């Protein structure tokens, strides 16, 4: 309730202040609007520049992603071959152990 009363009081005093000091209000607008336009334009230009940099980075990333996919594919094939070699080498050792158990 106190916030409502304070808000209404500030609203009424603000309206009275604008009416009483209209000339100063207009001068403040004349001084403030160009500064806000300059700062807003600088911010928009900076954000546009950053967006262009991001797009350029994204394009170069897309170009290299094809190479990376190909490298991953070859590495997967290499791993598969190594696993096959390893399982191929382990089977004869197990057979030799079984033969030595049978000889004893």
| Averaged pLDDT, 12-30 | 94
- Give Cα separations from 96 to 15, 34, 87, 88, 92 (angstroms): 101, 90, 15, 14, 6
Cα distance between residue 93 and residue 86, in whole Å: 11
Cα distance between residue 8 and residue 92, in whole Å: 92
* Phi-psi map region of 59: left, alpha, beta (phi>0 left; psi -120 to 50 alpha): alpha
Q: Model confidence at 96, in pLDDT bands (50, 70, 90)?
A: low
| Averaged pLDDT, 55-82 | 82
Q: Mean pLDDT of all residues in the chain?
A: 84
Q: Give the dihedral sign, CA 16/22/26/28.
A: negative
> Considering the chain, what percentage of its residues have pLDDT values greater than 90?
58
Q: Model confidence at 93, in pLDDT bands (50, 70, 90)?
A: low
| Averaged pLDDT, 58-87 | 82
Contact 9, 16 (CB under 8 A): no
């Amino acid at each position: 309730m106190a916030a409502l009363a304070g808000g209404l009081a500030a609203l009424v005093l603000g309206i009275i202040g604008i009416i009483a000091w209209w000339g100063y209000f207009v001068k403040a607008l004349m001084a403030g609007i160009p500064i806000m336009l300059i700062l807003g334009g600088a911010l928009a230009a900076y954000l546009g520049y950053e967006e262009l940099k991001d797009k350029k980075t994204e394009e170069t990333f897309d170009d290299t992603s094809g190479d990376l996919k190909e490298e991953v594919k070859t590495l997967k094939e290499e791993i598969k071959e190594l696993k096959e070699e390893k399982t191929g080498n382990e089977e004869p050792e197990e057979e030799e152990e079984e033969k030595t158990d049978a000889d004893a």
